[in-house]
């Protein structure tokens, strides 16, 4: 019982050490991780390299894949970029296996205590606290490995006839390999740590409880089980993020399939590399641990080398398997033309940004369409669903403004012509005003929620006037989107000015009529206030739309007059 408790305690300490290490490294890296993932994934090869480097840095493939899923969810990475990063993460995680094998090859306690001491001192000094946290986690990891090695020796499973007989009943055939693969998958999915299962596998192999064939089958299962983390992280994410997590699963499943086909020759090849005979009656713990680490590395490197050429096909498969609902597809924040990474020519970058702004405008028109549906919604359920969609679009407008502005900021760091600088200034104003349009539409939705909460019913005349105002708003938005998507030289400002005049005139007329209707008790003062708040906010949206037009066409507000 004591030995079992020591084994379980060592595993818990190992997981804790990995967690502290990973969190400390992520804190030290800070927001640079996001920049690295965005800037170094311009093609499939740099994406793989980035995933591998980040995983080695944070010592957690789960952290890298979860981070990648979240970046896809925020549209900071495309699906193809994310797939390459995850391939790299699988290579990077092999470093953990080599750390484990090192723990089984020498007396690791010799370095644990000095590392503990330095880590504690740095934590107490606070100036280098994160480095201290990292060393503290590393100490726990090394200490746990030493305890696992010692516990394995104390267990001496090879000398226990009952244990030997039990594992000997599993003959070295495909049936046994598939069983151990399944066990490895389930245990890794439960424990949520492939590193911990790798350590357990090394203990079992080094004590003679299981053969190298069975140990490698467990490692294969661990590769599938570890994908559960990313899939769990993607459950509440958008369609692209769920596809990313599925791609991670398909990648590892494919690797397991081809290894199973050539299992015994492949295992013998790996064992020959580390200089051991897989069928020998006894092997050293060091050789067994190195063989498992070597297999893990070969598995992921070869898998990546094969599948890196088929990223577009993997993308098509996961897109076919996970289809978005129409509403989800419309409401996912995904930049279409702007991509992270090294800048192309400034002129091309500016052109891409303008196309993205045109999509921004189309999204705001769709948002107003939902507000119109909200205006007509009767029952609570449909109203609440529509209101949630409006909130989602408001978040999208914030995200689009931030990401396009960041992209334009990067373009602006280059040596630019005066004309290109003026275009960037114009586009920065456009996205700022478009975000204000989104805020204004959200405010209209909040007014309509207030109307519903207070059980206010508009009169037929109010409904008709509100509908007229929404038609004018749609007309203004359509003209704005035409200007954003087309050439400035082909756009006439006069049409937009005319629509704005009509909106202002309608607002003024409704303001006068509202005073009269409230005075004549046609409706309550509260109902009139809510109605005019809606009308005023709609007219304010029209002002923001005009500001977008001014920015796009390079026209000053003083060049024309709107009453």
pLDDT in tens, 258-298: 988 988 888 888 888 888 877 776 677 677 888 888 888 89
As a whole number, mean pLDDT of residues 382-386 equals: 88
Same domain, 173 and 75: yes
pLDDT in tens, 326-356: 555 555 556 666 654 444 456 667 777 888 8
Q: What's residue 449's pLDDT?
A: 92
Q: What's residue 343's pLDDT?
A: 44
Percent of the chain with pLDDT over 70: 75
As a whole number, mean pLDDT of residues 120-147 equals: 75
Label each residue of 272-285 as H, E or C.
HHCCCCCCCCCCCH
Q: What's residue 557's pLDDT?
A: 65
The region of weakest confidence among 35-39, 246-250, 405-409, 437-441 is: 35-39
The phi and psi torsions of 486 (rounded to 5 degrees) equal -105, -170
Same domain, 414 and 278: no
Altogether, the residues listed in the chain come to a count of: 563
Same domain, 403 and 502: yes
Domain count, the chain: 2
Same domain, 299 and 367: no
Same domain, 236 and 360: no
Highest mean pLDDT among 138-147, 202-211, 309-318: 309-318
Separation of alpha carbons 507 and 151, rounded Å: 81
As a whole number, mean pLDDT of residues 233-257 equals: 79
Same domain, 40 and 180: yes
pTM: 0.56
Separation of alpha carbons 536 and 358, rounded Å: 26
Same domain, 288 and 399: no
As a whole number, mean pLDDT of residues 444-450 equals: 92
Domain hosting residue 354, numbered range? 329-559
Q: What's residue 537's pLDDT?
A: 92
Tokens of 267: 């295992």
Same domain, 50 and 126: yes
CA geometry: angle 213, 218, 220, nearest 5 deg: 95
Q: What's residue 216's pLDDT?
A: 87
Q: What is the CATH number of the domain that holds 343?
A: 1.20.58.220
Residue 491 banded pLDDT, cuts 50, 70, 90 = confident
Percent of the chain with pLDDT over 90: 16
> What string of DSSP letters covers 130-193?
HHHHHHHHHHHHHHHHHHHHHHHHHH-GGG-HHHHHHHHTS-SSHHHHHHHHHHHHHHHHHH--
As a whole number, mean pLDDT of residues 189-204 equals: 74
- Contact at 8 Å (CB) between 388 and 371? no
Separation of alpha carbons 41 and 477, rounded Å: 36
Higher pLDDT among residues 421 and 367, named by residue:
367
Mean pLDDT for the chain overall: 79
Residues near 46 by Cβ (< 8 Å), separated by ≥ 6?
Answer: 40, 84
Tokens of 555: 């026209």
Which is it for the CA torsion 90, 96, 101, 105, positive or negative? Answer: positive
Same domain, 192 and 304: yes
| Domain stops at, among 268, 293, 321 | 321
Residue 33 confidence (pLDDT) above 60: no
Cβ of 320: how many Cβ atoms within 10 Å? 9
Same domain, 311 and 333: no
Separation of alpha carbons 15 and 456, rounded Å: 58
pLDDT in tens, 429-438: 999 999 999 9
Same domain, 297 and 409: no
| Domain stops at, among 321, 350, 365 | 321
| Domain stops at, among 268, 286, 321 | 321
Higher pLDDT among residues 459 and 68, named by residue:
459
Same domain, 259 and 186: yes
């Amino acid at each position: 019982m004591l030995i079992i408790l020591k084994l379980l305690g060592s595993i818990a300490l190992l997981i804790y050490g990995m967690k502290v290490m990973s969190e400390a490294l992520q804190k030290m890296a800070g927001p640079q991780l996001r920049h690295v993932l965005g800037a170094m994934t311009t093609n499939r090869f740099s994406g793989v390299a980035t995933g591998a480097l980040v995983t080695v840095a944070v010592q957690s493939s789960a952290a890298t894949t979860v981070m990648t899923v979240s970046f896809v969810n925020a549209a900071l990475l495309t699906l193809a970029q994310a797939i390459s990063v995850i391939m790299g993460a699988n290579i990077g995680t092999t470093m953990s296996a080599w750390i484990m094998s090192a723990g089984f090859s020498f007396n690791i306690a010799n370095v644990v205590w000095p590392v503990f001491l330095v880590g504690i001192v740095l934590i107490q000094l606070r100036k280098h606290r994160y480095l201290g946290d990292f060393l503290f986690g590393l100490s726990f990891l090394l200490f746990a490995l030493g305890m696992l090695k010692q516990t394995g020796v104390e267990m001496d499973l090879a000398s226990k006839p009952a244990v030997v007989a039990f594992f000997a009943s599993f003959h070295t055939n495909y049936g046994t390999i598939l069983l151990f693969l399944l066990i490895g998958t389930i245990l890794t999915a439960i424990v949520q740590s492939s590193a911990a299962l790798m350590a357990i596998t090394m203990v079992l192999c080094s004590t003679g409880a299981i053969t190298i064939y069975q140990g490698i089958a467990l490692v294969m299962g661990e590769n599938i089980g570890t994908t559960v983390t990313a899939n769990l992280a993607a459950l509440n994410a958008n369609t692209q993020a769920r596809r990313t997590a599925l791609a991670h699963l398909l990648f590892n499943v494919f690797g397991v399939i081809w290894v199973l086909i050539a299992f015994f020759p492949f295992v013998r090849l790996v064992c020959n590399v580390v200089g051991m005979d897989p069928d020998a009656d006894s092997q050293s713990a060091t050789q067994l641990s190195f063989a498992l680490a070597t297999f893990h590395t070969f598995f992921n490197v070869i898998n990546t080398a094969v599948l890196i050429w088929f990223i577009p096909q993997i993308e098509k498969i996961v897109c076919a398997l996970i289809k978005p609902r129409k509403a989800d597809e419309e409401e996912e924040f995904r930049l279409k033309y702007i991509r992270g990474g090294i800048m192309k020519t400034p002129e091309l970058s500016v052109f891409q940004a303008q196309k993205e702004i045109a999509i921004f405008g189309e999204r705001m028109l769709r948002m107003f369409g939902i507000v119109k549906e909200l205006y007509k919604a009767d029952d609570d359920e449909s109203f609440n669903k529509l209101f949630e969609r409006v909130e989602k679009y408001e978040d999208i407008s914030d995200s689009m403004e931030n990401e396009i502005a960041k992209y334009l900021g990067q373009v602006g760091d280059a040596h630019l012509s005066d004309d290109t600088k003026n275009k960037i200034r114009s586009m920065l104003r456009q996205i700022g005003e478009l975000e204000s349009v989104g805020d204004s539409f959200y405010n209209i939705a909040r007014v309509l929620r207030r109307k519903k909460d207070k059980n206010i019913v508009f009169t037929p005349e109010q409904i008709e006037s509100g509908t007229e105002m929404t038609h004018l708003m749609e007309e203004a938005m359509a003209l704005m989107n035409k200007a954003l998507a087309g050439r400035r030289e082909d756009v006439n400002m006069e049409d937009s000015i005319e629509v704005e005049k009509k909106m202002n005139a309608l607002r003024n007329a409704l303001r006068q009529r509202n005073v009269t209707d409230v005075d004549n008790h046609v409706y309550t003062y509260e109902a009139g206030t809510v109605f005019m708040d809606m009308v005023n906010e709609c007219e304010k949206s029209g002002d923001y739309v005009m500001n977008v037009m001014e920015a796009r066409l390079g026209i000053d507000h003083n060049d024309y007059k709107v009453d």
